[in-house]
Homo-oligomer: A and B are copies of this chain.
């Protein structure tokens, strides 16, 4: 199988490396606007050849993996649409899915049925093809979000490839995917970014950061993520994220009222529901049970 990799970073590079290691992919043609990423991927034998453009990269390939930031998906799809062979399968790795499906619908025309939207869940690693790892997806979850138009054989091929890379595969409706990740990933990032920015912008930033303990560092670790990548995610999943943020702000308003009026019963109720849910989640994942305040 001959693969075109559009966007040569951590995720695309790791997927290509895993597929080559599994022996299911031979040639990999890479394109990235950053020539250093392409050179490094060639040096690490993750790609076998580079192309001067996305259009050129996909010619004659069986599978195209769009692994750019979500905000660049539409342009990449538009660039490759006319160079695809009728049997080519196109897939992506974006953190949001409805926007990517819209992008595909607007750019791929009749080839839309060969597009398989996918989201490998693999956060917490450092970005860049220099950190690509054929073992990155072992035991990880990959979500596919086929549309009614998605070709069953194309879907099955992409899912088989992810399994060959060691991942578990689950299918979800794109809208549900986007709502779920708005709540458990995108909103937490926005909340952490906003807190750190608020403290950083204050006059007393130095003394505050100097006294930040382990709890603060855990809570705000995700605020060290790429600002550009998260701007793209927030814009691409704008509708679901805006709804979750609105719900969250309504709850904070009610918490504010409880604090202002010293309503200990309500505070303990909210904290109790959260602590029970959080500890259940942790026991399922084998983490510690209870943490005392800083």
Q: What are the residues of chain B within 8 A of A288 when measuring CB–CB?
A: 126, 224
Is the contact region of chain A dominated by helix, strand, or loop, or is it mixed? helix
Please state if A189 and B293 are interface contacts (CB–CB under 8 Å). Answer: yes
CB distance from A253 to the nearest CB of B (A): 7
Q: Determine if A281 is an interface residue (Cβ-Cβ < 8 Å).
A: yes
Instruction: Say yes or no: is A109 at the interface (Cβ < 8 Å to chain B).
Output: no
Instruction: Find chain B residues with CB under 8 A from A227 CB.
Output: 268, 271-272, 274-275
Distance A272 CA – B268 CA, assembled complex (angstroms) = 35
Number of copies: 2
Q: Are A217 and B291 in contact (CB under 8 A)?
A: no
Contacts of A126 in B (CB 8 A): 288-292
**A180 CA to B292 CA in the complex, in Å?**
18
A49 beta carbon closer than 8 Å to chain B: no
Partner of A256, one of B183, B201, B242: B242
Give 23 A-B contacts (CB < 8 Å), ordered by A residue. Answer: A143-B211, A179-B204, A180-B211, A184-B212, A184-B216, A185-B212, A185-B213, A188-B195, A194-B248, A194-B252, A200-B277, A205-B277, A209-B277, A217-B281, A223-B274, A224-B290, A225-B275, A228-B268, A238-B260, A242-B256, A245-B256, A245-B259, A252-B252
State the 7 A-B residue pairs at the shortest beta-carbon distance, nearest first: A123-B294, A227-B271, A200-B277, A196-B274, A227-B272, A197-B274, A193-B274
